[in-house]
Structure 1
């Protein structure tokens, strides 16, 4: 017998034995199918068996991937709603993100006057440290009722007298300028005071920028109206802005 014929017969016998020994029912004999069709037939059997195992492995791996992706995302703090006033969790001042440190309600007798929000570079419970730092800060006042400009001027004068009794003539003149920026404010309108370190305090009334008053001394005297030793709205108001729980 020629060597090639012996080799072919041996290969056929070996393949037949392997086929019969496969634990897959329905696998045809190589003698009954051309080689290409037989290969596809075996592939189909393999897919039928391996497929479920691949799916079983793929689902938990996909879940782990999604969990890893979720863990890598930075959670965005939610906005804060207080007395029906919603304030954003962060604001941007001169290219820096400030966080909402606390919110407080200003009441006069039984009347709700405004909700205030204090924004700082980082959360702080120490008003003295906030005033000492020469960093950006912002205070937002959203009104819950109409307030006249004259009432606001009285509040600024009182704040300066109680918290900065040794105010210089220049500082007093700056508070006169602040009073000149005031207008009658209506419910749902805002005052926004933004101190930019090294520049001054921008005063925005009902969405309109009225001007910028220079100097950290003015900014400190102004912010003492809310977080100073004798805040006009009271120490509880100050503690709320500073996130202090009593």
Structure 2
């Protein structure tokens, strides 16, 4: 009887652990990459806590390039009708975490950003924000390998912070540039299925 009771308790504990584990991560079913549901970071002496809104896959010419998870500040007033506006709102802290699923050289990464900025910016905006764009691109001087992690953070005040494999590369400050960067994934001309990036948002 005691053995049966022990087995029951062990089974219940393993089941609970499995449920907890599934709740603590979200997966990109296309690549198998997993991301935490909640993330936190410090900046300017303040601790920021964020919740995942969804995950998607970046593909190019039908080839999977990376998985990307989107996060928005904990406590944000989000629903299906306002989520994309809120995702481009400078008052909220946000994060995009990319896990690469193929090797890509730094030139290709930079070229990809430049091509996208041309689509997001008007000619006047490109000229006005050229220095911010060059500064941002300068953070990507390393080739990306499978399982490398690129983290982009948008801190209120128009601050874009870049972290690669846990190492902070620098930051750019410009609300207009920050919106352009986030528009790459959450704007109307998104390079991924942006609906997947907000699939966890209710309402």
Tell me the TM-score normalised to structure 1 length: 0.62
Q: CA deviation at 1:244?
A: 7.9
- Residues 159, 231 of structure 1: 8 Å contact kept: no
- Residues 136, 171 of structure 2: 8 Å contact kept: no
How far apart, CA to CA, are the structure 2 residues paired with 1:108 and 1:168?
24
- Name the counterpart of 1:167: 125
How far apart, CA to CA, are the structure 1 residues paired with 2:187 and 2:135?
21
Give 1 or 2: higher strand fraction. 2
Residue among 180, 188, 199 paired with 2:138: 180
Where 2:195 maps in the other structure, the secondary structure is helix
How far apart, CA to CA, are the structure 2 residues paired with 1:151 and 1:244?
31
- Residues 90, 99 of structure 1: 8 Å contact kept: yes
Pairing 1:65-76 to 2, within 5 Å after superposition: none
How far apart, CA to CA, are the structure 2 residues paired with 1:133 and 1:202?
14
What is the root-mean-square deviation in Å for CA atoms of aligned residues? 2.2
Tell me the TM-score normalised to structure 2 length: 0.75
Residue among 86, 90, 101 paired with 2:38: 90
Which runs of 5 or more residues in structure 2 are unaligned?
1-19
- Name the counterpart of 2:63: 111
Higher relative contact order (CA 8 A, sep 6+): 2
How far apart, CA to CA, are the structure 1 residues paired with 2:109 and 2:126?
21
Which runs of 5 or more residues in structure 1 are unaligned?
1-74
Residue among 234, 238, 241 paired with 2:194: 238
- Name the counterpart of 2:92: 135
Q: Deviations for 1:39-83, whole angstroms, at most 9, x for unmatched residues? A: xxxxxxxxxxxxxxxxxxxxxxxxxxxxxxxxxxxx894211222
Structure 1 residues 104 and 213, CA, compared in 2 at 3 Å: closer, same or farther? Answer: same
Give 1 or 2: higher helix fraction. 1
Aligned residues: 168
Select the structure of larger CA radius of gyration: 1
| TM superposition outliers: structure 1 runs of 4+ over 6 Å | none
Q: CA deviation at 1:108?
A: 1.5
Q: CA deviation at 1:128?
A: 2.4
